[in-house]
């Protein structure tokens, strides 16, 4: 008690000043609606700004985890999409899902190394043989074709990029199902060329180009770009078609690795000669 008295005696001027300030503020804010509203609004602005700042920091630090979670959910959704399942029997209708058989498996992966400025570009994924990865699996995103696995170690995979002189992808025009071959001409990472379409093919600027599904590597219906120019090549009797790619290869991060469960069966059938 004596200690409190000594502290008050020493600092009574400061204590009295703070007390009078508090009393004055209470009188002002209680008696004047204008001042009270200013005080409350200022307090709300300060509190709201603080919460917003904390929320922004939390969202920033959780962004990587959220993106990974969304990618895994998208992989599950892709696996049950109509383009990923194959009908077993068209003559019977079953109440369960046994009418359909899984055709593709999608694995969520992260790009840990990537190049776009070379003639033959490659990228590396954080999944390997221990994760079920194998050569000749396709790699896609929701915005287009990324490439194909060519080499696998226990924990990592190397893939040939679409931005590679050796890459060819079977594609078709969404509007009329005309089929051609899409490849990168090495000039711009944002554009590509669609070839093998005759002069009689009806192609318009703005037409959407997507995967045909004829390949055992990529599912059909993946949007890869939009036609920007169409020219007649009378020497080849073909159309020269340029498209803008829908995928920015400089910013790829999370991708999906596609496993075709029927690939070996298809390859065997294609490679087996027809007996007369």
Mean pLDDT of 3-12: 60
User: Which residues make beta-bridge pairs with 161?
Assistant: 147
- Residue 194 is predicted with a pLDDT of 97
Mean pLDDT of 162-187: 96
Task: State how far the Cα of 169 lies from the Cα of 152, in Å rounded to an integer.
Answer: 22
What is the chain's mean pLDDT, rounded? 78
CATH number of 105-276: 2.40.10.340
**Assigned token pair, 154:** 């226990």
The structure's pTM equals 0.66
Report pLDDT digits (tens) over 117-142: 999 999 999 999 999 999 999 999 98
- Residue 156 is predicted with a pLDDT of 95
Tell me which of 91-105, 181-195, 199-213 is least confident: 91-105
- Residue 89 is predicted with a pLDDT of 38
Task: State how far the Cα of 74 lies from the Cα of 90, in Å rounded to an integer.
Answer: 28
pLDDT(167) > 90: yes
- Residue 87 is predicted with a pLDDT of 41
Reported as a pLDDT band with limits 50, 70 and 90, residue 215 is confident
Tell me which of 92-101, 152-161, 194-203 is least confident: 92-101
- Residue 4 is predicted with a pLDDT of 57
User: Which residues make beta-bridge pairs with 182?
Assistant: 169, 194
Report pLDDT digits (tens) over 18-45: 765 665 655 555 555 555 555 545 544 5
pLDDT(180) > 70: yes
Report pLDDT digits (tens) over 217-251: 999 999 999 999 999 999 999 999 999 999 999 99
Annotated domain spans of the chain: 105-276
**Assigned token pair, 50:** 């603080």
* 85, 261 contact by CB (below 8 A): no
């Amino acid at each position: 008690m004596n200690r409190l008295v000594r502290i008050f005696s020493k600092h009574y001027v400061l204590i009295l000043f703070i007390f009078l300030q508090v009393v004055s503020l209470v009188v002002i804010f209680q008696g004047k609606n204008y001042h009270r509203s200013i005080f409350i609004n200022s307090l709300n602005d300060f509190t709201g700004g603080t919460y917003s700042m904390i929320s922004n920091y939390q969202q920033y630090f959780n962004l990587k985890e959220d993106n990974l979670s969304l990618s895994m959910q998208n992989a599950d959704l892709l696996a049950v999409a109509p383009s990923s399942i194959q009908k077993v029997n068209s003559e019977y209708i079953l109440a369960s899902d046994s009418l359909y058989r899984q055709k593709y498996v999608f694995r969520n992966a992260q790009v840990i190394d990537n190049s776009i400025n070379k003639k033959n570009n490659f990228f590396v994924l954080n999944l390997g043989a221990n994760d079920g990865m194998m050569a000749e699996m396709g790699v896609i995103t929701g915005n287009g074709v990324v490439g194909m696995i060519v080499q696998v170690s226990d924990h990592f995979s190397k893939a040939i990029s679409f931005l590679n002189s050796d890459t060819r992808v079977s594609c078709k025009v969404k509007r009329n199902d005309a089929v051609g071959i899409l490849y990168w001409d090495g000039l711009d990472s944002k554009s590509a060329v669609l070839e093998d379409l005759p002069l009689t093919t009806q192609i318009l600027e703005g037409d959407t180009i997507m995967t045909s599904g004829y390949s055992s590597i990529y599912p059909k219906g993946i949007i890869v770009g939009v036609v920007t120019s169409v020219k007649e090549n009378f020497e080849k009797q073909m159309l020269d078609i340029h498209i803008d790619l829908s995928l920015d290869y400089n910013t790829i991060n999370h991708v999906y690795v596609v496993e075709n469960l029927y690939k070996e069966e298809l390859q065997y059938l294609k490679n087996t000669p027809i007996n007369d």
